[in-house]
Amino acid sequence: MIMQEMEAEKYCFAELRISIYGKSMQEWHKLAEWFKFHKIFSHQIRWMIQIPRLYSVYKKNNIIKNFQEMIDNIFRPIFEVTVDPSVDPELYALLFQIVGFDTVDDESVYEVLHLKHLALSPSQWNEDENPIYAYWIYYIYANLYSLNSLRAMRGLNTFSFRPHCGESGNVDHLATGFLVADGINHGIRLDHNPVLQYLYYLEQIGIAVSPLSNNKLFLQYQRNPFPKFFSRGLNVSLSTDDPLMIHITKEPLLEEYAVATQVWNFSTVDLCEIARNSVRQSSFEEILKKHWIGQNYDSKELDANGRKD
């Protein structure tokens, strides 16, 4: 129904998210079969894979033995089908609809850092607790970087890395995001660190902010730093987060724009620039971006590994 409505409107495009949990290597195959059976394809939609940081839950329930097993469950099937499409033709086809990866969790959960943990490889991480944010993000990034290199060599599409980062919790999450991410979701904790904020500005790393979601979970709407980020020239856009929970109409993104316009007095020119930023941050094909916002739009070229120069 949502896809049909978007196609009828013609000018509405979205990147929707669906989860891969890392509990089993069969998850990818089941997802691909589900996509094929229900014919979930639309010119207006691309898909992001979100990875919930639930290692501790699976470990305590003896679903996995260590962190390496979870990483293998997430990445080995897509490495294998990249090398040999006949291993899983449905998954091979599905990967052309996927444009990026995200990680999601409650960043406000307190993390205990033991220096000995930093020396552990994923196969050695058999602790019951979650790896710290930086450890987790690094290994997702490292596997994604290798996967993108392999797929680029074979002339296949690659994937961006845009994790949830800086909605709450320690500001070092944002430092980690700066080092490895193509863009981040939320990022409102940048308001507490001018140096990192300036680095994000210099590199124009995309920051997709969801003020209505932030308002419900962590930060009152009028205290959200979005207008400050925008006026300083950071690459910020408005986005939705859990629209079935947060929003009350069939147009959740329109709600974000409408409320922001009323509360922060954005002009129509401001709204156009915010919408332009959303196109720049997205992982839609380059030809579509040029069609939407012009041949000479400000975009950093991607190298063969899907990373920005």
- One DSSP character per residue, 20-59 reads --SS-THHHHHHHHHHHHHT---TTEEEEEEEE--HHHHH
pLDDT at residue 1, as a whole number: 63
Active site includes 29? no
Q: Residues 235, 275: contact at Cβ < 8 Å?
A: no
pLDDT at residue 119, as a whole number: 83
**pLDDT of 306 higher than 60:** no
For residue 117, the number of C-alpha atoms closer than 13 Å in the C-beta half-sphere is: 17
Per-residue pLDDT reduced to its tens digit, 150-172: 999 999 999 999 999 999 988 99
DSSP helix/strand/coil, 15: strand
Q: Of the residues 114, 186, 247, 291, which is catalytic?
A: 186
Give the 3-state secondary structure percentages of the chain, helix then strand then coil, rounded to 5. 50, 10, 35
Q: Residues 178, 196: contact at Cβ < 8 Å?
A: yes
Which strand ranges, in their side-by-side order, compose the sheet holding 14-19? 14-19, 45-52, 98-104, 160-161
Percentage of the chain exceeding pLDDT 90: 74
Confidence (pTM) = 0.91
pLDDT at residue 277, as a whole number: 95
Write down the CATH number for the domain with range 184-309: 3.20.20.140
Find the mean pLDDT for residues 256-277: 96
Which strand ranges, in their side-by-side order, compose the sheet holding 236-238? 164-165, 183-186, 206-209, 236-238
**Residue 309 banded pLDDT, cuts 50, 70, 90:** very low
CA distance 125 to 106: 21
Q: Where in the chain is the domain with CATH 3.20.20.140?
A: 184-309
Q: What is the mean pLDDT of the chain?
A: 91
Instruction: Give the ranges where 95-232 is alpha helix by DSSP (H).
Output: 115-118, 133-153, 172-180, 194-203, 211-217, 226-231
